[in-house]
Each structure stands twice: as structure tokens, then as C-alpha cells.
Amino acid sequence: MAQQLRKVWWADVLYVEGLRDYVTLYTRQRKIVTLQLLKTLQQQLPANIHHSCIVALDAIDITHKDNVQIGERQLSISAPYSKSFQEAVERYRI
């Protein structure tokens, strides 16, 4: 399969999951799998909730103590990211 370059607007990204050398971007329109490290995206999206997941704060429908819900999908918030995630949510509300 030929390599493709697809433009993705960060405003359309709901969340990103990483698995080894790949990331899956879940957008409002589609799911995109790409050969890229999650670390390279961490500085561009607002909130890490787990070592393998980044979420767009405005895409979150429900927050719980240890997970968030985006649509029908529940994503775990790992303990090391809990405090920084809660701080990001508080800053976002203002």
C-alpha cells in the first residue's frame, strides 16, 4: 500500500491512543492509524490521562474519578496522570 499523507485538524481529534510505534487518532469523522510515537503528539494535545492515551478536553462528555467518557467509549485515567488531568480540567472550565 502506498504511503499517504492526510491532514488532520486538532479540533477534530477526540482522543489518541498509542500502542508501541503506532498511534490511533479518533476524530469526529474517522479512525486513523499511523506509524508514529505517542510522545511526539503529547505536546500538541491538551491532556494526558494515561501513558497510552491523550484526550481533547472539549470532547469529554463525562468525567469520573478514574475515567472519562467520550461518546460510548470509557478511557481510564491512570494514577500518575490523575492530578495533572484534574488541573487541566479545572483550567479548561475557566
Give the span between the Cα atoms of 66 and 80, in whole angstroms.
11
- Predicted local confidence at residue 46, as pLDDT: 59
DSSP 26-87: EESS-EEEEE--GGGTTTTSSEEEETTEEE-GGG-SEE-SSEEEETTEEEE--HHHHHHHHH
Asked if the model's pLDDT at residue 2 lies above 80, the reply is no
> What's the total number of domains in the chain?
1
Residue 75 included in any domain: yes
Range of the domain at 56: 11-93
Which CATH number do you get for residue 62? 2.40.50.1020
- Predicted local confidence at residue 47, as pLDDT: 60
Would you give the end-to-end CA distance of the chain in angstroms? 46
- Predicted local confidence at residue 73, as pLDDT: 92
Residue 82 included in any domain: yes
CA 50 to chain centroid, in Å, comes to 9
Residue 1 included in any domain: no
Residue 2 included in any domain: no
Of 73 and 49, the structure prediction assigns the larger pLDDT to: 73
Residue 3 included in any domain: no
- Predicted local confidence at residue 94, as pLDDT: 53
| Chain position carrying cell 498509542 | 18
pLDDT tens-digit map of 32-68: 999 888 888 776 665 666 778 888 888 999 988 889 9
> Are the beta carbons of 19 and 54 closer than 8 angstroms?
no
Residue 85 included in any domain: yes
Residue 80 included in any domain: yes
